[in-house]
Amino acid sequence: MTLRVLSYNVRALRDDAKAVGRAIAACEPDVVCLQEAPRLLGWRWRRRALARGCGLVAAVNRRAGGLAILIRPAVRVLHAEHRLLRRYPRLHRRALSLAVLDVGGRLVVVGCTHLDLDDHARSRHAQEVLAHLTATAARHCAPAVLAGDINCTPDGPAWRLLASELCDTGAEAPRGEKLTFPARQPRARIDGVFVSRELTVCGTGVPVDLVPPADLAAASDHRPVLAEIETP
């Protein structure tokens, strides 16, 4: 069956929250991995309002690290966890959200992360993310999907590390546009979706055919990445 996974850095909904909701809804995702979800005053109701407006529910919704995984109500959550990554002084706290999902009788482990701007921390956290993700996938005998704001381009060490263990879906089967940042005049691909190599990638990219350009520009400083994946 086909799984639609959306990765989106929504910049704490500080731009146009309604445009974020429209962009998500237009993609009709099964799973949404949010980075920079609201985590300050009123964070719970702001996240809840976004999910409800898109017809989604939370599988993982923790404040630390600004991450959330949203799903269609028909998707079942078998296991959920939220892991804080190694702390570095004077840097933002980073995390990994994980959900083991039953999508139409097929199991998949979905991870969501947001790596650091600092090169060293980013590479170390990428190693941690891979270790946690692969261990969870092995424990549940399920393929893995990792979505996130990697904060470097595909030639960066952290991205190359992830792509050495997982398939970079945007490179494997490009669809739509590839550049994700900044939203108004995109110059770089720093957001991506990676999957276990046993999964078949149908297409991945910025869904410019589904989301109006005005919403892509107004919603956040990042553009979303939509991956369509065939599960075995």
> Could you report the per-residue pLDDT of 36-70, keeping only the tens digit for each?
999 998 899 999 999 999 999 999 999 999 999 99
**Using CA atoms, how far apart are residues 129 and 83, in angstroms rounded to an integer?**
9
Domains of the chain: 2-230 (3.60.10.10)
Q: Please state the rounded mean pLDDT for residues 182-209.
A: 98
Q: What is residue 1's predicted lDDT score, i.e. its pLDDT?
A: 85
